[in-house]
Amino acid sequence: MTPRLYKWALSGLFLMILFFNTVFLVTETEHALIFQFGEMQHVYSAPGIKGKIPFVQNVKFLEKRLIDYERPAFNITLLDQKRIVVDVYAVYRIADPLKYYKAVQDELTARARLDEIIPGTLKAVFGGFSLSQIISEDRRKTLDKLLFQVNKSAHELGIEVLDARIRRSDLPPKNSAAIFERMRAERQRVAREIRAQGEETAREIRATADKEQTIIIAEAEKTAQLTRGQAQAQAITTLAAVIDKDPNFYEFYRSLQAYRKALKPESTTYILSPKSEFFTHFNGFRK
C-alpha cells in the first residue's frame, strides 16, 4: 500500500470514528442524556438522529416506556388494630429525566427508593381505614388516595406512578385460623339456636294438634251420644206407637226375634214342651 493510500485509509477510519462519536439515534422508547465531563448538558426525549461533541460529550439512555414495580408481601396494621398481609403492584414512568438522573441515576436505585416510598405510604394510608372499609366499596377510594400520596413523594425522583393496586390482601395465618374458628363457633351457635327454635315450634305444633284432636274427638263423641239418644228416643216412641196400635203384632214380632237368636244350626239343642209359651206363635195367636 502506498503512503498516500495509507493516509487516506487512516483518514477514513478517523472520520468513521468521529462520525459514530458525534451522531447517535434516539428511539421512541428512550430518553437521551448528554454529559460533558460528568455534568449533564442536555436531554433529548423526541425521537430522531441527534449530535454531540465527540470525545468530549457522552450519552446515557433512560427508559421512556412504562415500568412495572412489584413489592413482596408485607404486614400492615389497620385502624381497628387488625393486621393484614398485602402484596402491592404499581406501574410508573420517568416523567422528568433530568430530575430522575440526579435523584436515582438508574432503575435499580429507583426501585430501592420506591421500596421505601410505596410501603411507607401504604401503611400510612391503610392505617386510617378499618378492615371492613378495606374490603368494601371504599377500596377504590383507598387506592386513589394511595396513588395520590405516592406521586407526591415520587415527584421528587422525577417519577410518575400511573397506577398502584393491591393484588392480595389477606389476614396473617394465625389471625386467619383464629377468625375461622370464631366463624365456625358462631355458625355452630346459630345452628343450635335454629334447631332449638325448630324443636320448640314442633312441640307447639304437636301440642296444638293434640289439643285440636282432643276437641274434635270430644265433639264427635258428644254428637254421637246426642244422635244415639235421639235415635233411642225415636225408637222408643216408634215402639210405643206400635205397641199401642197392635200389641199382638208386637208380641209376634218380638217372638220372631227370639226365634232368630235362639234357633240357629250351631246353637245348643233345646228340649221344650210343645205347649211351652216359647212356641205360642207356632200354634197360632192367643185369643
pLDDT in tens, the chain (287 residues): 577 777 777 777 777 877 777 888 888 888 898 888 878 788 888 888 888 888 888 888 888 899 999 888 888 877 777 778 888 888 999 999 988 988 888 888 999 999 888 888 888 887 777 777 766 656 677 778 888 888 888 888 999 999 888 777 666 666 556 666 777 888 888 898 999 999 999 999 999 999 999 999 999 999 999 998 888 888 888 877 777 777 777 777 777 777 677 666 666 666 666 666 666 665 654 44
Alpha-carbon distance values, 149 to 47, 76, 88, 224 (Å): 32, 17, 15, 90
Q: What is the DSSP letter of 268?
A: P
Q: Which helix (H) or strand (E) holds 78?
A: none
CA–CA gap between residue 104 and residue 112 (Å, rounded): 9
With 0.75 as the threshold, say if the pTM is over it. Answer: no
Spell out the domains of the chain, with CATH numbers in brackets. 10-63 (no CATH), 67-174 (3.30.479.30), 238-282 (no CATH)
> What's residue 205's pLDDT?
93
CA–CA gap between residue 130 and residue 78 (Å, rounded): 6
**110 with 159: CB under 8 angstroms?**
yes
